[in-house]
Amino acid sequence: MKILIVNPPIRLSDKPRHIPHGLAILANIVRKRFKCEIRFVDWNAHRYSEGKVKSIIKDFPCDVAMISGLTPTYKYLIRIADIVKEYHPKCIILAGGSAAMPIPELLLRNSKVDVVCTGEGEITIIELIEAFQQQEKPDLSQIKGIAYKVPEEGILISEPRPLIDDLDIRSDLPAYDLLPMDVYLANPVVGLGRDIDFIASRGCPYHCTFCYQPWGHKIRQHSVEFIKEAILYLKEKYRIDFVSFQDDLFIVNRKRLYEFCEVRNRCFPDIYWGCTGRANIVDEDLIGTIRKSGCTSVSYGFESGSPRMLKAMRKKIIVEQMERATDLNRKYGLPIPVSFILGMPGEDEQSCSATVDFCIKNNLTLDSLMYATPYPGTELFDFGIKAGRIKEESLHDFIMRLGDARDFVVNLTDSFTDQELQEKYREMRAVTKKAYRPPSQAEMESKIRALYGPLSDAYFNLSAKDREHRARHGAIGLF
């Protein structure tokens, strides 16, 4: 069996920094289970032209094609499916990721995709390939966690698949050897040197209205032993310097976090790392402990300086906790990568002013200000439909336009016109940037060297353009 895997392009204004974890994990699982030939086409990493992608696909007569991506890749999933069917009409096309999972019927109706995986894919992919190995047109009704086309019956959706209970056993590492690792390691995520991103858990206990959380609200984590063996392997095989943990909440389990810190200090003390945090979880003991263990970045989603808006988003944090997190990062010499959202339902001049005032008071910028973007699967998306801001009859066209949250797509407020909201976005960024008091050049150099040690030369060797890029994507210079 020949299996084609295509990772679609995303965030073309950014460098390719994030490896396609989902597709690469499934590739590893499939090749261990089946006798097959896999061709992994990383369109995003290589930034191929469409003509090049067509040529690659044409020259690989595949039986199964796997495609997946975040919501902004929806239009690319459709285009890839078209290309595959053009050259290999009998190929079965399987799609997953947030571009497919929350809207399986929409994607199936508007594309040549055959099957959508509506949940975690580790078990589902095995059952699907086994089914198509046995029959050309198998009965898929007993396979959980899929939506699929049936001739003359339309689209059928099977019973949801339960979430994996043990990630160490039922999941796997990505098939790193199938990826262009030289590309990814040359484009750090939040660190310096040879930086790789890693996902060590799934799920989030919070219910923010703007977030799509298909992995449930119970956190499931890889063991520290699994993480240790993975990092040792990546260190030996790819000479990594830095690990960027991309979990929703790497710090949520303090016992496990401290266990990881102890293992890092003992087994790979030369590896630096960064992670996501949460303002209501961090305290001095936590930040102090992880800082001593080589952590150089803890990022936060603050979202708003308005208590009213924070409550409306169900963030479960308060402004005082945001200020404390900011102070703790500064105290321990960490940068302060923080994101904010503009344009949530209920946003008005008062809430915008509260966000600007918060940033000025705490010496922060709004470089990572995002528009409220109603991605499918979120409560915000449901609001957009009910409020008539997203038209159900043109839903496909709307999702085709969805991109990065830095780009304006739809206005969910009652207080601003589209033009006024976009002007407010530019104004808020400009005001906070003007008010920001950066460290002096000498202070900046001292902070970088204290933070990154032997990796700091990599920062000072960056061009001005690359430093600006790192500031925009990772807030490496925001102290």
Record the tokens describing residue 38, joined without a space: 């896999």
Could you tell me whether strands 220-221 and 201-202 are parallel, antiparallel, or unpaired per DSSP bridges?
antiparallel
Choose among 134, 161, 145, 65: nearest CA to 104: 145
Render pLDDT for 5-34 as a digit per residue (tens, 0 to 9).
999 999 988 899 999 999 999 999 999 999
Task: Place 473 in a pLDDT band, splitting at 50, 70 and 90.
Answer: low
Whole-Å CA distances, 133 to 3, 129, 251 = 12, 6, 42
Record the tokens describing residue 411, joined without a space: 């206005």
Average pLDDT over every residue of 87-103: 97
Average pLDDT over every residue of 134-163: 94
Percent of the chain with pLDDT over 70: 98
Asked if 173 contacts 188 with a C-beta cutoff of 8 angstroms, the reply is: no
Asked if 332 contacts 408 with a C-beta cutoff of 8 angstroms, the reply is: no
Could you tell me whether strands 338-342 and 295-303 are parallel, antiparallel, or unpaired per DSSP bridges?
parallel
Cα angle, residue 363 at apex, residues 367 and 373 outer, rounded to 5°: 30
Whole-Å CA distances, 466 to 11, 186, 460, 461 = 16, 12, 10, 10
Per-residue model confidence (pLDDT) at position 474: 61
Q: What backbone phi and psi angles, to 5 degrees, belong to 396?
A: -60, -45
Average pLDDT over every residue of 353-377: 97
pTM across the whole model: 0.95
Average pLDDT over every residue of 444-460: 90
Total count of residues recorded for the chain:
479
CA distance 413 to 372: 10
Q: For all residues of the chain together, what is the average pLDDT? A: 95
CA distance 342 to 412: 10
Say if residue 468's pLDDT is above 80: no
Task: Place 355 in a pLDDT band, splitting at 50, 70 and 90.
Answer: very high
Which amino acid, one-letter code, is at 57?
I
Longest dimension (CA), the chain: 71
CA distance 308 to 123: 43
Per-residue model confidence (pLDDT) at position 477: 67
Domain boundaries, the chain: 2-157, 188-472
Per-residue model confidence (pLDDT) at position 164: 95
Render pLDDT for 248-262 as a digit per residue (tens, 0 to 9).
999 999 999 999 999
Choose among 124, 121, 120: nearest CA to 140: 124
Record the tokens describing residue 146, joined without a space: 């899929």
Choose among 176, 148, 238: nearest CA to 31: 176
Say if residue 476's pLDDT is above 90: no
Sequence-distant (≥ 6) Cβ neighbours of residue 453 within 8 angstroms:
272
CATH class of 2-157: alpha beta
CATH number (3.40.50.720, 3.40.50.300, 3.80.30.20, 1.25.40.10) of 188-472 reads: 3.80.30.20
Render pLDDT for 166-210 as a digit per residue (tens, 0 to 9).
999 999 999 999 999 999 999 988 888 999 999 999 999 999 999
Report which of residues 478 and 407 the model is more confident about.
407
Average pLDDT over every residue of 222-250: 97
Per-residue model confidence (pLDDT) at position 206: 96
Per-residue model confidence (pLDDT) at position 472: 67
Say if residue 453's pLDDT is above 80: yes
Which has the minimum average pLDDT: 142-146, 293-297, 392-396, 453-457?
453-457
Neighbours of 292 (CB within 10 A): 11
Record the tokens describing residue 371, joined without a space: 């528009």
Q: What backbone phi and psi angles, to 5 degrees, belong to 274?
A: -140, 165
Task: Place 325 in a pLDDT band, splitting at 50, 70 and 90.
Answer: very high
Record the tokens describing residue 50, joined without a space: 């469409």
Which has the minimum average pLDDT: 86-90, 186-190, 435-439?
186-190
> CA 274, 279, 284, 288: dihedral to nearest 10 degrees?
0
